[in-house]
Homo-oligomer: A and B are copies of this chain.
Amino acid sequence: MTLILSNDDVEKLLTMPDCIEALEAAYEELAEGRGVSRQRSDCITPTTWSEDAIYGLKSMDGVIPRLGVGAIRINSDIIRNPLVGNTRRRVKVPAAPNDRYVGLVLLFSTHNGEPLAMFPDGVLQHIRVGATNGLGVKYMARKNAETVGILGSGWQAETQLTAACAVRDIKSIRCFSPSRENREAFSARMSEVLGIPVTPVDQPEDAIRGVDIAMCGSNSTDPIFFKQWIEPGMHLSSIKKPEIEPAAIKSADKVVVHTHDPGPILVVAKGAKFTEESKGEGWNKRHGIDFDKMPTLPDMIVGRYAGRDDDKQVTCFLNNLGLGYQFAAAGSVIYKRAKEQGVGHELPTDWFTETVHP
Contact = CB atoms under 8 A, between A and B. Distances in A.
- The copy count of this chain in the complex is 2
Contacts of A106: 74, 104
Contact of A70 (B38, B76, B113): B76
A190 interface: no
Contacts of A33: 269-270
A57 B47 contact: no
Given A57-B72, A100-B355, A355-B100, A78 B113 contact: yes
A44 interface: yes
A113 B96 contact: yes
A319 to B, nearest CB: 17
Given A74-B72, A113-B95, A265-B38, A352 B65 contact: no
Nearest to A267: B36
A270 B83 CA distance: 46
A339 B225 CA distance: 54
A212 interface: no
Q: Identify the interface centre among A44, A114, A268: most chain B CB within 10 Å of its CB.
A: A114
Interface string A263-283: 001011111000000000000
B65 A48 contact: yes
B43 A353 contact: no
Contacts of A32: 270
B352 A118 contact: yes
Nearest to A95: B112
A186 interface: no
A102 B96 CA distance: 27
A337 B282 CA distance: 47
A94 interface: yes
A39 B264 CA distance: 13
Given A120-B353, A120-B358, A113 B108 contact: no
Contacts of A111: 47-49, 95
A270 B32 CA distance: 8
Q: Identify the interface centre among A36, A46, A92, A355: most chain B CB within 10 Å of its CB.
A: A36
A358 B78 contact: no
Interface string A20-49: 000000000000111111110101111111
A183 B92 CA distance: 55
Given A45-B35, A61-B57, A78-B112, A102 B267 contact: no
Given A100-B355, A125-B358, 19 more contacts: A6-B351, A34-B46, A34-B269, A34-B270, A35-B45, A36-B44, A36-B45, A76-B109, A76-B115, A96-B112, A96-B115, A97-B349, A100-B353, A101-B355, A101-B357, A101-B358, A120-B353, A122-B355, A122-B356
10 cross-chain pairs, A with B, having the tightest CB-CB distances, nearest first: A122-B356, A103-B358, A100-B353, A120-B354, A33-B270, A57-B70, A96-B114, A76-B108, A95-B112, A76-B113
